[in-house]
Amino acid sequence: MPAQSPAARIGNFKEVALGYTAEQALAEAERCLQCKNPRCVPGCPVEVEIKDFIKCIVAGNLEDAYRIIRNTNSLPAVCGRVCPQENQCEGACILAKTGQPIAIGRLERYVADNYIAANPCARLTGDEAACSFSHGPKIACIGSGPASLTCAGHLAARGARVTVFEALHEPGGVLIYGIPEFRLPKRIVAEELGTLKNLGVEFCLNWVGGRTFSIQELFDEGYSAVFIGVGAGLPNFLGIPGENLIGVFSANEYLTRVNLGRSYDFPNFDTPSFRGRKVTVFGAGNVAMDAARTALRMGSESVTIVYRRTRAEIPARLEELEHAEEEGVQLRLLSAPLRFLGNEEKRLRGVELEQMELGDPGTDGRRAVHAIPGSNHILETDLAIIAVGTKSNPVLLKSTPGLKLNLKGYIEVDHLSETSIPNVFAGGDIVTGSATVIEAMGAGRAAAMEIARRFL
């Protein structure tokens, strides 16, 4: 796919991947073998009929291609950009054996970006038939990330009166505060949200579940069912000395300041953002790559990712890792932090690292990591970003009597996505822990289907 050059893109927040032209999309679609029993469909968490929508691209029929995708996927323009297709549909493609699977995600993005819907219902479902949402049951969705948006869209298109309660001042959840503009433009999210609003979905912003309102109060106000899709946004830290120094941030806070606060668009948005000269990111997942690449675009002289294993074990998408390296992000592998070092003003000046080595595989097949004695050394840094995962935020969970949690603090649900409280459903990261956008969408869709079965 065409993309901005590394030299150009590190100076802006415009989207890196530029999308297929019509000719490129047709050439890629024509590679599809149209398998009798396609493996790609079971590889998709929402089971998009992949070969059918690709066949429509070949025929030049984007309207039907879009309708097919929308039958099960309510955020195709988002998924085409951020989903790890290489581990899902593309990983299951029969051509993956050749190293050249069909670029399903890029084709999905092409269809979503180029199809123009006749009306909001068609935009959301691919079906021109409209519904009356003024007299349907009231459904509440707490949180406005991909799980809740999918649940809300599925139900609103079928006649429910849906209200989405969001704690922040802007809807979108992780799609807005977590994923940078250069990977997922805000206009794409805004278009999807606009479709939901046109269908009658109401968004209540600055409403904090467990503080501004309780789940019982929603039932008291006449809501028939509640879906909890608040994600898992409480950051993990390293637990080493010096994490309270000025200049040490969680990736959540750093990315939220830049993305939700739009500090990348100064002076149009005058949101303060800590600008480091030498930046160090701890962790090597997609969030770590987002933070590292964001720091480069915010003007840092150098950005280093510290990871205690080797390049082969890096959990981030290969595409994101390659983009980061092309842009100048450095990798310091087989290294682990011991403590942060500060100056007299309590400002970060460096981090002490130790060299690691891989040991024998454990019962899970993953090789253990051991420190090398006497390998300690200092890395100069004035901005540290910790991206080592997240956990559930307890604000809503602990204020909801009778809501059963597992040992890790996530909500327990049954096979119908229902919690221990009748007609309260949950899905996404608050149930599974950190997962992908499409997996969260699949959970939201599953819950919506059960809610629809009961009340619509």
pLDDT for 13-59, tens place per residue? 999 999 999 999 999 999 999 999 999 999 998 889 999 999 999 99
When pLDDT is cut at 50, 70 and 90, the band that residue 128 belongs to is low
Is pLDDT at 133 greater than 70 in this prediction?
Answer: no
Q: What pLDDT digit, counting tens, does each position of 320-362 carry?
A: 999 999 999 999 999 999 999 999 999 999 999 999 999 888 8
pLDDT, mean of residues 236-259: 96
When pLDDT is cut at 50, 70 and 90, the band that residue 120 belongs to is low
Ranges 239-243, 267-271, 275-279: which has the least confidence: 267-271
Non-local CB neighbours of 187 within 8 Å, separated by 6+ positions: none
Pairing of strands 223-228, 348-361: unpaired
**C-alpha closest to that of 197 among 108, 133, 261:** 133
One fold for both 133-233+392-455 and 236-389?
A: yes
For residue 367, what pLDDT is reported?
A: 86
The two structure tokens encoding residue 317: 């998408």
Burial class (CB in 10 A: 0-12, 13-18, 19+), 375: middle
Q: Per this entry, what is the length of the chain?
A: 456
* Fold type of domain 236-389: FAD/NAD(P)-binding domain (3.50.50)
Q: What pLDDT digit, counting tens, does each position of 156-175 carry?
A: 988 999 999 999 999 999 99
pLDDT, mean of residues 366-391: 95
Three-class SS string for 216-252?
A: HHHHHCCEEEEEECCCCCEECCCCCCCCCCECEEEHH
What gap in Å lies between CA 13 and CA 184, rounded to an integer?
Answer: 10
φ, ψ dihedrals at 238, nearest 5°: -80, -25
Residue found under tokens 């080592």: 388
For residue 125, what pLDDT is reported?
A: 57
Domains in the chain: boundaries: 6-116, 133-233+392-455, 236-389
Give me the chain's average pLDDT, please: 93
CB 90 within 8 A of CB 32: no
Report helix angle 50-58 to 62-70, nearest 10. Answer: 170
CB 295 within 8 A of CB 276: yes
* Fold type of domain 6-116: Fumarate Reductase Iron-sulfur Protein; Chain B, domain 2 (1.10.1060)
For residue 414, what pLDDT is reported?
A: 97
**C-alpha closest to that of 185 among 265, 107, 124, 123:** 265
Long-range contacts of 18-22 (CB under 8 A, 24+ apart): 19/106, 19/109, 19/110, 19/113, 20/106, 20/107, 20/109, 20/110, 22/114
Pairing of strands 161-166, 138-142: parallel
Is pLDDT at 116 greater than 80 in this prediction?
Answer: no
Task: Quote the percentage of the chain above a pLDDT of 90.
Answer: 83
What gap in Å lies between CA 212 and CA 340, rounded to an integer?
Answer: 37
Non-local CB neighbours of 249 within 8 Å, separated by 6+ positions: 274, 383, 384, 385, 386
For residue 134, what pLDDT is reported?
A: 58
Q: What pLDDT digit, counting tens, does each position of 64-108 carry?
A: 999 999 888 888 999 999 998 998 999 999 999 998 999 999 999
Query: From the DSSP assignment, how many helices (H) and strands (E) are in the chain?
Result: 18, 16
CB 294 within 8 A of CB 273: no
The two structure tokens encoding residue 416: 């119908």
Is pLDDT at 117 greater than 70 in this prediction?
Answer: no
For residue 123, what pLDDT is reported?
A: 59
385's enclosing H/E stretch is: strand 383-386
pTM over 0.95: no
Distances (CA, A) of 376 to 309, 352, 373: 16, 7, 8
Non-local CB neighbours of 300 within 8 Å, separated by 6+ positions: 275, 276, 277, 278, 279, 383
What gap in Å lies between CA 162 and CA 155, rounded to an integer?
Answer: 7
Is pLDDT at 130 greater than 60 in this prediction?
Answer: no
**What string of DSSP letters covers 104-155?**
HHHHHHHHHHH---SSHHHHHHS-------SSS-EEEEES-SHHHHHHHHHH
Residue found under tokens 């996404």: 428
- Give the single-character DSSP code of 308: S
What gap in Å lies between CA 265 and CA 256, rounded to an integer?
Answer: 13
Ranges 113-117, 142-146, 236-240: which has the least confidence: 113-117
**C-alpha closest to that of 15 among 107, 80, 65:** 80
Is pLDDT at 135 greater than 90 in this prediction?
Answer: no
Distances (CA, A) of 44 to 38, 67, 85, 139, 435: 11, 17, 8, 27, 14
CATH assignment of 133-233+392-455, among 3.20.20.70, 3.40.30.10, 3.50.50.60, 3.50.50.100: 3.50.50.60
176's enclosing H/E stretch is: helix 174-177
**C-alpha closest to that of 421 among 186, 131, 151, 218:** 218
For residue 142, what pLDDT is reported?
A: 98
pLDDT, mean of residues 238-249: 97
For residue 72, what pLDDT is reported?
A: 85
Which 3 state secondary structure label does DSSP give 304? strand
